Amino acid sequence: MRMFGQLRTALLARKVPTAGLAAIYRYRAAGDVRRDLEALHAAGLIDTTGDGAIQATGSGRVVLAEMYEVSAGIAAGLWAGEKGSLAGLSNLAGRVAGAALVTGGDAYLAMAPPYEPAGAASGLLLHTRLSVLRYHRADAHAVAWQAAGLTSAAISQTAAGPVREAIEAETNRQAGIPYAALDPDERMTFLAGLAALPG
């Protein structure tokens, strides 16, 4: 169910291709990923399309919709005192998430654009847009360590030092590209607004 929850923003919007799944779970053992998928199949929550992608079944969509309702309730409660800023922050996050579609890799393009229910509150939209942006950073990180000649296993074991610092710097550079969709003042507003949110 943890996997199902992680994929909720994608599965309510589209099927998730095999390349996307491999990228999303690039740090997990393939056998573990396969077992989780088999369990979701057995539970009747997903099925597989002819090209190997996965998609939510009717029952799966009901469960995913309930997950969205829970997320909406949590966001509403946590950020109840921030309603004045949430609409602006969610709009800024949406612009960054849209720009990231140009530079995102397989993980991001599987997860974004996220499913957004009609009439969703700004808090849920902000949460959902920020949730998918982490996959853009994950793709940037993978590009950086692959360029350094490392594997997913190797980067997981790479200690702090010049190699790791260079990879992290390149990750930051690539992950920051979509934020150019915001002007400098908007970026500061976005950063300050997110920092001020509870939780």
189 φ/ψ sector (left φ>0, alpha ψ -120 to 50, else beta): alpha
Round to whole Å and give the CA distance between 8 and 3.
Answer: 9
Please say whether the beta carbons of 141 and 171 come within 8 A: yes
Over residues 163-174, the mean pLDDT reads 97
Please state the domain extents for the chain.
Answer: 2-196
Does position 5 have pLDDT exceeding 80, yes or no? yes
Does position 95 have pLDDT exceeding 80, yes or no? yes
**Helix, strand, coil % over all residues of the chain, rounded to 5:** 70, 5, 25
Residue that the structure tokens 């853009």 belong to: 136
Query: Which pair of tokens denotes residue 34?
Result: 């396969």
DSSP annotation string for 103-142: H--HHHHHH-SPP--TT--HHHHHHHHHHHHHHHHHHHHH
Please say whether the beta carbons of 123 and 79 come within 8 A: yes
Does position 199 have pLDDT exceeding 90, yes or no? no
Does position 85 have pLDDT exceeding 80, yes or no? yes
pLDDT digits (tens, 9 = 90+) for 25-61: 999 999 999 999 999 999 999 999 999 999 999 999 9
Residue that the structure tokens 């998430």 belong to: 97
pLDDT digits (tens, 9 = 90+) for 134-155: 999 999 999 999 999 999 999 9
Rg of the chain, C-alpha, whole Å = 18
